[in-house]
Amino acid sequence: MKSLMLAAALALFATGPVLAADAGCSTVIEGNDAMKFNKASIEIPKSCKDFKVTLKHVGKLPKATMGHNWVLTKTADLQAVANEALKAGVKNDYVKPDDARVIAHTKMIGGGESTEVTVSVAKLKAGEAYSFFCSFPGHWALMKGTLTVK
Ligand code: CO
């Protein structure tokens, strides 16, 4: 019993400061079986050091047929990066390895799964146009949005 209380106290200690420091430095975005994200834009406060993106696939279809990931590039790079996704292949989650144009990306997930990635805000510039998208072949046309730092 004593150890349980200690564990609870430690858990509070561990999560308290993290929640307090969060201050809008995270978001949750959902992808579904209709090949849609539930957000068309994400705004990152420039006061954030890191910004956590949690991707939830709220559909039922498997990764092989309705896979979703969250890939961040400059808007100017989106189309070229998306067009090279098929060549990168399923083994790389449709993201070309070590691609300098890819600022951050999650792994590819299927229905019922979730994943997350942390974006280093120091890598982003206020005023630059960024876009996020799903790099599963054919999805980016519908599954994309804009990201800005303000
Ligand atoms: Co997708």
Q: Distance from the CA of 145 to the center of ligand 1, in angstroms? A: 13
Name the pTM for this structure: 0.85
Q: Distance from the CA of 69 to the center of ligand 1, in angstroms? A: 6
Domain range annotation of the chain: 22-149
Give the model's pLDDT for residue 54: 98
Which residue ranges in the chain fall short of pLDDT 50?
1, 9-12, 15-18, 20
For the domain spanning 22-149, the CATH number is: 2.60.40.420
Q: Distance from the CA of 119 to the center of ligand 1, in angstroms? A: 20
Burial 23-47 (b: 16+ CB within 10 A, else e): eebbeebbbbeebbbeeeebebeee
pLDDT, one tens digit per residue, over 19-51 is: 545 679 999 999 999 999 999 999 999 999 999
Compute the residue count for the chain. 150
